[in-house]
């Protein structure tokens, strides 16, 4: 794909679309395209994560080993979002359900992009803070529900 095509694709990815075209240009230039065969494991739960992946084509089964649940995801899904910001371990195993293409975004590239585009970093920070706030509210609701259930 051409750089402009990769930028247009990144704009459709919810988290990355917040960054703006110039910041996405940096990611598009530095991202590596990787082909993944059906049945191939992109990464396994517990592995050290060094960046994120965006599914360009195909689909993946995400297996949560601790909970024993599985989710299927497809194009425009960002896998390993936290690994773009911080050293962490993979929480899931991602296995290709069909021949697939992903764009690999290494953490150092992502951090350099944020350093170079402070407005993009601010927009991303605000969006992530809003998501965390929403999650905290949901936890409070669940806690209240469980407390009411236990008191019966």
* Mean pLDDT per 10-residue segment, the chain (152 residues): 89 94 95 97 96 98 85 96 94 97 97 94 86 77 74 68
Tell me how far the alpha carbon of residue 60 is from its chain's centroid. Answer: 13
- Which two tokens mark 59? 């689909």
Rounded distance between C-alpha atoms, residue 49 and residue 29, angstroms = 21
- pLDDT, residue 64, reads 87
Rounded distance between C-alpha atoms, residue 87 and residue 57, angstroms = 27
- pLDDT, residue 1, reads 58
Domains in the chain (CATH in brackets) are 3-150 (2.60.120.10)
Global confidence as pTM:
0.83
Which stretches of 2-150 are DSSP H helices?
3-11, 21-30, 107-116, 118-150
């Amino acid at each position: 794909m051409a750089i402009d095509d990769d930028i247009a694709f990144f704009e459709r990815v919810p988290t990355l679309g917040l960054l703006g075209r110039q910041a996405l240009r940096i990611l598009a230039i530095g991202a590596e395209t990787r082909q993944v065969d059906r049945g191939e494991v992109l990464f396994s739960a517990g592995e050290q994560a060094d960046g994120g992946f965006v599914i360009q084509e195909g689909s993946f089964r995400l297996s949560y080993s601790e909970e024993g649940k599985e989710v299927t995801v497809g194009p425009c899904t960002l896998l390993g979002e936290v690994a773009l910001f911080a050293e962490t371990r993979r929480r899931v195993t991602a296995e290709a359900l069909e021949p697939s293409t992903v764009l690999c975004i290494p953490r150092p590239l992502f951090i350099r992009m944020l350093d170079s585009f402070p407005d993009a970093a601010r927009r991303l920070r605000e969006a992530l803070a809003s998501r965390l706030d929403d999650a905290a509210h949901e936890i409070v609701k669940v806690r209240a529900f469980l407390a009411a259930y236990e008191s019966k």
